[in-house]
Amino acid sequence: MNIGLWYSKDTGMSLTDYAYADHAGCQDTRRSTSGSAQFLGDKLVSWSSKKQKSTAISSTDAEYIALSSAIALCCNNVQHSRAKHIDVHYYFIKEQVDNGIVELYFVRTEYQLADIFTKPLPRERFNFLIEKLC
């Protein structure tokens, strides 16, 4: 039996990443949790949820850390559990956008698929997101 993803000829092959971070969500350390979900076309191919290594001063900091982690994982064919380049995040993101390599779009909360990896959710919201990820 073979297991894999099947794509028809007319399927778009764009890579889409949903990245999110809760700000200071950990009660003990006040570190944020980053979550992301990567789709190739309409198929979920990777996801992650991880407490950030440092405490983010603002929600913007937490979001940048989450986004740089997601881009690093998408651009690197080898998954590293400890990727030191994730810490260098602010200018990396700006550089990628300036060079046209990455396009950033704001995703409203109700469509933020990475929410499921960052915080507890009400059952209805959890079920809605699970359906979108499958």
Q: Which domains does the chain have, with CATH numbers?
A: 15-133 (3.30.420)
Most confident among 1-5, 46-50, 90-94 (mean pLDDT): 46-50
Q: Phi-psi category of 85—alpha, beta or left, where left has phi over 0 and alpha has psi -120 to 50?
A: alpha
Q: Which pLDDT belongs to residue 72?
A: 61
Q: Which pLDDT belongs to residue 20?
A: 84
**Sheet hosting strand 15-22, strand order edge to edge:** 15-22, 33-40, 43-51
**Measured distance CA(41)–CA(15) in Å, rounded:** 6
**Measured distance CA(17)–CA(75) in Å, rounded:** 11
Q: Which pLDDT belongs to residue 126?
A: 92
Q: What share of the chain has pLDDT > 90, as a percent? A: 7
Q: Identify the H or E element spanning 75.
A: helix 59-75
The 10s digit of each residue's pLDDT in 53-89 is 877 777 767 777 777 676 665 555 454 444 454 456 5
Answer for the pair 35, 73: CB distance below 8 angstroms, yes or no.
no
Average pLDDT in the chain = 78
111 pLDDT tier (thresholds 50, 70, 90): confident
